[in-house]
Amino acid sequence: MNTAIKPKHQRLVLVIFALAALIGAGLLAAYALSKQASYFYLPSELVAKPPEAGRAIRLGGMVEKGSIRTMPDGVTINFVVGDGKAHVPVRFTGITPDLFVEGSGVVAEGRMAGATFVADNLLAKHDEKYVPREMKDMSTAQAKAVIAETK
């Protein structure tokens, strides 16, 4: 009596094992990514449904005019981010980006600490009319030619 596994069954066992390994790797990757995900909130969403304490999130909106205050240590700033519906106070310690000014868009990465958002990183956004200073005095045709050269 021959008790060896037929080659057909060996391939089937190998395929099942490979599928199980792929599914396991996918589940492991999904779990790791869910722990590292940084959700984006607008101020009105953050006020309406705040995330659990300590969760890494991103807060995006406009820096309200007259809200930037530099603390006596010279590196900590407090400001308010709003979206027209709600306002969230933000505290950041560090060097701010050059484009960070009152009335500009900002994305702050950090966590909620009570009612204040404590930012670890600031990303300043420019408006859609932004033009690099090198291209500021160029005509549209000249700008298109420069862009075509860089491709």
Look-up of token digits 């066992």: 13
pTM summary value: 0.62
Strand ranges inside the chain, DSSP E: 39-41, 57-63, 69-70, 76-82, 87-93, 105-113, 116-125
39-125 maps to which CATH number? Answer: 2.40.50.140
Domain positions in the chain are: 1-37, 39-125
Dihedral (CA of 54, 57, 62, 63) sign = positive
Look-up of token digits 């990514």: 33
Residue 18 has pLDDT above 90, yes or no: yes
Beta bridge partners of 69: 78
Tens-digit pLDDT profile for residues 35-65: 666 678 889 888 888 888 778 889 989 999 9
CB–CB of 108/121 below 8 Å? yes
| C-alpha dihedral (22, 25, 28, 29), degrees to nearest 10 | -100
Tens-digit pLDDT profile for residues 65-110: 999 999 999 899 999 999 888 999 999 999 888 888 888 889 999 9
Tens-digit pLDDT profile for residues 111-131: 988 889 999 999 887 655 656
